[in-house]
Chains A and B, each alone.
Chain A
Amino acid sequence: MSAQAGHGAAVRIDACGKTFADGTRALQPATLDIARGETLVLLGPSGCGKTTMLRIIAGLELPDAGGRVLFDGKDMTPVPIERRNVGMVFQSYALFPNMTVSDNIGYGLKIRGVPSKERAERVAELVTLTNISGLEHRRIDQLSGGQRQRVALARAVAIRPGILLLDEPLTALDAALRDRLRSELNRLLRALGITTIYVTHDQSEAMELGDRVVVMQKGAIAQIGTPREIYFTPRSRFVAEFIGAANIVEATIEDRHLVLPGGRQPIHCDVNMPAAVAMIRPETIRVTSAGSASLSGTIDSISFIGDRQRLVVSGASNRLLTVDAPNTLRTRPGERIGLSISPDAVRLLPPES
């Protein structure tokens, strides 16, 4: 165990579904492999079953019959959470109110019978690592939200878990703090190098932290891939729209072109289709002069964001098209513009979704 402790365990979730006692089908049977040392993010809207999946891995919920959870190939399904050696950070942090910060962090070691001297050293190490020096003797109700988050993380990591499980650890914080802690967390997770499963509903968190991202929808896995894969090659309309900004275009395909109200857009597709659905990311659309363009539209509105400006264009597609243009482009609402899109940037989606 100790040789692998630094990088944790490999996890396999085998056909794990979950139906709660009241009949709620929270999770369709899902199979998933998580490599040793990998950070996997479970991403999806609220209620899609992320927490349920995490709790099954942790051992706080049993999967429906037939489902199995394996750590390093060993079947852990019947093993209760207290013997799975998992570090868990709860959405509410669940810090012990009757203990100080250092007692919280050292609790798992105390339970394991680690002598107090060794325990104090490990706690001090984690206090430094998570940047909470000076708070060791505070009570939990004397901490800010960000400090609590760090204590919760330190407590989970202190036991040198095989797997680190985090359930929306940043959701309870305000936006500015969330951004700062996100990159701090990223650095920390990389430094620990331990197998991590991270639950969030925030796609930018998922992109930054995940080696791979599992996009979930209504209790089922919609897509698994690296952040780049799910961003550039979403397999469904749901994934395309959930990750980043996406223009969804419904059109007929003729002759390797999408036939649109504002013109024809070349694509890589050899078959003609009466009703195709395609995705085009706003930043892949280049603004040109209207005259020579094969696709054109009229600017409806402009929002200046700073590093870029976001144009809303009508008349080009069957619905409004969002275009990210350089912040230096001089244009105004009502102007007619051409839209140049590389065929590579048009991604066909299965029509039914």
Chain B
Amino acid sequence: MSHRSFVWLCLLPLAVVTAAFFLLPMARLVVTGAGGPQGLAGYLAILTEPRYRATLINTVLLAAATTIVTLIVATIAGMFLQRHRFPGRAVLIAMLTFPLAFPGVVVGFMIILLAGRQGLIGDFSNRLFGEKLVFAYSIYGLFLGYLYFSIPRVILTIMAAVQKLDIGLEEAARSLGAGPWAVQRDVVLPALAPAFVASGAIAFATAMGAFGTAFTLATNIDVLPMLIYTEFTLAANFSISAALSVGLGIITWFILALARSFSGSAVAAAG
């Protein structure tokens, strides 16, 4: 057997697995999406049908908000945790990264405990203002859940990136007259840009597609995964749910590609 054909033979299992579990279902999904009464125009319905379009925009906004707030919170926390030594630091890091292990259902459950009808926040506001503040079952509860979900992941990435920052660059900027804010703006943030793109992409994709948390909180939250679920199980609308799935994938992929190319120059320069 020649060396070349040996390599091909080794690739065969990978090809089979890829085809069976990835390409075929995907192709089937794409075909199903076009298999409704409107045919290919079923895909167009994602954008033209007001309910679908509103859900789509909602989901993208929610994911974008999650990503931005996660990045802000995680960058400040990660920078502080990496740069300072204090008693209890290890415990704090362990606690912050603890939710990594939780599935969406548990996160949803915790949001209900926090902001649900019997939740802590409700109790508290009831005592203070005589009114129960409940937002667990809305998109705000979901937003909180996604933050809870994303922050630990992003903090870890940011901490690793902060550790690799060259302190000399910050000192050089200061020697040239840069105050704390200018140092952050001109030196630290550009150097962290690759970490922002990498961890932000994961936070965004997770928030676009996560289902467990939403499902635990309520069935009528207007986000794409819930819409797909209801179209699929309740309305048995296979073609629309398939079209929505493909749309979800493409939109997520497109926005991530956009973010990557947008920050591309910064990443290249900082690399």
Query: For residue A98, which residues in chain B have a CB less than 8 angstroms away from its CB?
Result: 190-191, 266, 269-270
Q: Are A107 and B186 in contact (CB under 8 A)?
A: yes
A81 to B174 CA separation, bound complex (whole angstroms): 6
Is B168 positioned at the interface, with any CB of A under 8 Å from its CB? Answer: yes
Contact of B166 among A86, A94, A107 (CB under 8 A): A94
| Contact residues on A (Cβ < 8 Å of other chain), bracket | 20 to 34
Is A159 positioned at the interface, with any CB of B under 8 Å from its CB? Answer: yes
Chain B 158-185 residues near chain A, CB threshold 8 A: 166, 168-169, 171-179, 182
A90 to B269 CA separation, bound complex (whole angstroms): 21
Closest chain A residue to B177 by CB distance? A111
Q: Are B177 and A159 in contact (CB under 8 A)?
A: yes
Given known A-B contacts A107-B186, A112-B177, A155-B176, A94 and B269 have beta carbons under 8 A apart: no
Q: Are B168 and A92 in contact (CB under 8 A)?
A: yes
A222 to B111 CA separation, bound complex (whole angstroms): 67
Query: For residue A94, which residues in chain B have a CB less than 8 angstroms away from its CB?
Result: 166, 168-169, 171-172
CB distance from B123 to the nearest CB of A (A): 45
Closest chain A residue to B168 by CB distance? A94
User: DSSP class of B's interface residues: helix, strand, loop or mixed?
Assistant: helix
Query: For residue B242, which residues in chain A have a CB less than 8 angstroms away from its CB?
Result: none
Contact of A90 among B171, B179, B182, B270 (CB under 8 A): B171
Closest chain A residue to B169 by CB distance? A94
Question: 1/0 per residue A65-93: CB within 8 Å of B?
Answer: 00000000000000011110111101010
Q: Are B269 and A82 in contact (CB under 8 A)?
A: no
Q: Are A86 and B269 in contact (CB under 8 A)?
A: no
Closest chain B residue to A91 by CB distance? B168
Query: For residue B269, which residues in chain A have a CB less than 8 angstroms away from its CB?
Result: 97-99, 139
Query: For residue A83, which residues in chain B have a CB less than 8 angstroms away from its CB?
Result: 177
Contact of A81 among B168, B175, B182, B270 (CB under 8 A): B175
Q: Are A82 and B171 in contact (CB under 8 A)?
A: no
Q: Are A96 and B172 in contact (CB under 8 A)?
A: yes
Contact of B174 among A80, A87, A95, A156 (CB under 8 A): A80
A346 to B187 CA separation, bound complex (whole angstroms): 56
Chain B 131-167 residues near chain A, CB threshold 8 A: 166
CB distance from B266 to the nearest CB of A (A): 7
B168, B172, B178, B187 interface centre (most CB from chain A within 10 Å) = B172
Given known A-B contacts A96-B187, A98-B269, A111 and B176 have beta carbons under 8 A apart: yes
Contact of B178 among A90, A92, A111 (CB under 8 A): A111
Query: For residue A80, which residues in chain B have a CB less than 8 angstroms away from its CB?
Result: 174
Is A60 positioned at the interface, with any CB of B under 8 Å from its CB? Answer: yes
CB distance from A353 to the nearest CB of B (A): 36
Closest chain B residue to A140 by CB distance? B269
Query: For residue A96, which residues in chain B have a CB less than 8 angstroms away from its CB?
Result: 169, 172-173, 186-187
A75 to B269 CA separation, bound complex (whole angstroms): 40
Q: Are B175 and A88 in contact (CB under 8 A)?
A: yes
A155 to B178 CA separation, bound complex (whole angstroms): 13
Closest chain A residue to B266 by CB distance? A98
CB distance from A69 to the nearest CB of B (A): 15
Is A234 positioned at the interface, with any CB of B under 8 Å from its CB? Answer: no
Query: For residue B186, which residues in chain A have a CB less than 8 angstroms away from its CB?
Result: 96, 107
Given known A-B contacts A96-B187, A98-B269, A107-B173, A82 and B178 have beta carbons under 8 A apart: yes
10 pairs of A and B residues whose beta carbons are closest in the complex: A108-B176, A94-B168, A94-B172, A98-B190, A88-B175, A98-B269, A111-B177, A82-B174, A81-B174, A111-B178
Write 17 A-B pairs (CB below 8 A) sorted by A numbering: A58-B175, A60-B174, A60-B175, A81-B171, A82-B175, A83-B177, A85-B177, A86-B175, A92-B168, A94-B166, A94-B172, A97-B191, A107-B178, A108-B177, A111-B182, A159-B176, A159-B177
A: which residues have CB within 8 A of B? 58, 60, 80-83, 85-88, 90, 92, 94-99, 107-108, 111-112, 139, 155-156, 159
B: which residues have CB within 8 A of A? 166, 168-169, 171-179, 182, 186-187, 190-191, 266, 269-270
Known: A82-B175, A92-B166, A97-B169. 8 other contacts (CB 8 A): A90-B168, A97-B191, A98-B269, A99-B269, A111-B178, A155-B176, A159-B176, A159-B177
